[in-house]
Amino acid sequence: MITFEIILFIVAILLGILLYWRESKNNYLFRLINRITHSKEQQLKKENKKGFFFRQPFLIRFVYLVILILMGYLISLLIIPFNFVTIQYLITMIIGTVLGTYFASLIIFATDKVEDGQDIIEEALKKSKKLLKELTDEDESKKIIQEMEKPKEEETTKKSARDRLKDKGFIQ
């Protein structure tokens, strides 16, 4: 039965990814329910992408997922004549789906940042090329080597703690 739980967990992660991705593209169902339950002034605007899972805090997302999975459980009770679902399977589905939504948000967030960050990458490449030229230039590399050797000279001239205590007269 542990194999069934692992398969169920993987399916739940994929379901969470699918739900989150689908809602990031179109939140029509959430806007429809919002139109039914809220007055005209409080309704979501068409530009607002918030959905049941997309751009929701953890607690609200968790509540919607539990409601969705319990509705699926009740429907499966009506369709299938015997009860094979236990609490551990429901918990596995809930945890897997929550993880799936967070994996999907991570993927979508990363792709948005990559698309927005093309200029940043180009600037970093230009800076690294400039730094590489400075390091390969002989005069610059000599300056860097000299700067790195200076602290070593200062360390050799420092007195030990014992010598400093002798100078102060604490130790004979």
Residues 98-153 have pLDDT tens digits of 999 888 888 877 776 666 666 677 777 787 777 777 667 666 667 767 776 665 54
Q: What is the CA radius of gyration of the chain?
A: 31
pLDDT at 2: 78
pLDDT at 138: 64
Residue among 23, 26, 104 at smallest CA distance from 64? 23
Q: Is 5 exposed, middle or buried (0-12, 13-18, 19+ CB in 10 A)?
A: middle
DSSP assignment of 117-154, as one string? THHHHHHHHHHHHHHHHHHHSHHHHHHHHHHHHHHHHH
pLDDT at 14: 92
Element (H, E) at 40: none
Element (H, E) at 61: helix 58-79
- Domains of the chain: which residue ranges? 2-116, 121-168
Best mean pLDDT range from 36-45, 46-55, 86-95, 117-126 = 86-95
Q: Are 72 and 64 in contact (CB under 8 A)?
A: no
List Cβ neighbours of 51 (8 Å cut-off, separation of 6 or more). 23, 24, 27, 29, 30
Residue 107 tokens, joined: 């993927």
Q: Is 38 exposed, middle or buried (0-12, 13-18, 19+ CB in 10 A)?
A: exposed
Model pTM?
0.56
**Does residue 83 carry a pLDDT above 90?**
no
Q: What is the mean pLDDT of the chain?
A: 78
Distance (Å, rounded) from C-alpha 31 to C-alpha 37? 10
**Does residue 73 carry a pLDDT above 80?**
yes
pLDDT at 163: 84
pLDDT tens for residues 2-14? 788 899 999 999 9
In this structure, the number of other CB atoms found within 10 A of the CB of residue 70 comes to: 13
pLDDT at 115: 66
